[in-house]
Amino acid sequence: MFKQMKVWVALTTIFSLLALVSSCSKSGTNEGGPTNDSATTGKAYTPKGNEGSVAGAIAYNGTPPAPKKIDTSADPVCGTKSPNLSTEDTVVTNGKLANVFVYIKDGTTADGKKIGDFTFTPPDAAVTLDQNGCHYRPHVIGIQVNQKLKVTNSDPTQHNIHPTPKVNAEWNQTQPNGAPPIEKTFTRAEVLNPVKCNQHPWMKAYIGVLKHPFFAVSAEDGSYTIKGVPPGTYTVVAWHEGGATGTEKTMQVTVPASGSAKADFAFGEGGTASTRPSLEMMPALDVPMIGRH
Ligand SMILES: [Cu+2]
């Protein structure tokens, strides 16, 4: 009798442990949800005709760093074509900042769908990055996943374009004077890919790759417009180069049906007006998992 009890207790313990393990792993699977960082999973977005826009201007507060003259003596062709080449990391005109990459990071449409769960077919038109006067034009570009990037060489010298992404494949390719355009695609979203030239160390550009078409680059007057945005509430990020990984400002906006949301950002001294770090949202996502296990 006593022996039977011991076996019973042992069996009960084993079964409850098994139940615990299986419920734990089950809840872990459910809570993780589908991970969706690929451009090919999810439902294709169909425009409804009531899309709106996000628009604004990027200000630069305080005195911007003066552009530095670039020594191009390593390649005389560059000096001849661009005798006054200077750094382009902070281009400020009348207090407005150019070359800021502004994009929708995440959010929810008015009908309650996560924007990141949709897929967006990339446009047929390629995005061109030109090497002209021994610098890249434009300096910052946005492109969709699997959209064609066309690299052209408008200089009478050789370039070697070399994007240095972290999640996409790294590549570099020589493009002599008169060579045909190089065509490439990026297979994963990544903000932003730095681009350099192995021939001319001062050449720099940045490529923002996104699953969706909701991005823009600020013009010389600091203005930008992101078009075709489904009505909804979104986190908008403005990214400007500098330091190891650049600087990000974030803002929540609500795009009304067929209307426009305003999102002005500021960089430079104390340039955080109306922005908050996006990191604040992270712990809320992580805590339930830690608590359970
Ligand atoms: Cu070059």
Residue 136: closest CA among 78, 74, 93: 78
pLDDT of residue 129: 98
For residues 166-173, give the mean pLDDT: 96
CA of 267 to the centre of ligand 1 (A): 29
pLDDT-derived band at 291, boundaries 50, 70, 90:
very low
Task: With cut-offs at 50, 70 and 90, classify the pLDDT of residue 284.
Answer: very low
Q: How far is the CA of 77 from the centre of ligand 1 (A)?
A: 11
Around ion ligand 1, which residues have CB less than 5 A away?
A: 159, 197, 199-200, 203
Q: How far is the CA of 199 from the centre of ligand 1 (A)?
A: 5
pTM score, whole prediction: 0.80
In the prediction, which pLDDT does 4 show? 57
**Environment class of 135 (CB within 10 Å of its CB; exposed 0-12, middle 13-18, buried 19+):** buried
Q: How far is the centre of ligand 1, averaged over its atoms, from the C-alpha of 80 (Å)?
A: 14
Average pLDDT score, the chain = 84
On the question of pLDDT at 268 being above 60, the answer is: yes
* CA–centroid distance, residue 174 to ligand 1 (Å): 9
**264-284: average pLDDT:** 57
Asked if the model's pLDDT at residue 179 lies above 90, the reply is yes
Is the pLDDT confidence value at 91 over 60? yes
pLDDT at 126: 98
Distance 138 CA to ligand 1 centre (A): 14
How far apart, in whole angstroms, are the C-alpha atoms of residue 8 and residue 253? 61
15 has a pLDDT exceeding 80? no
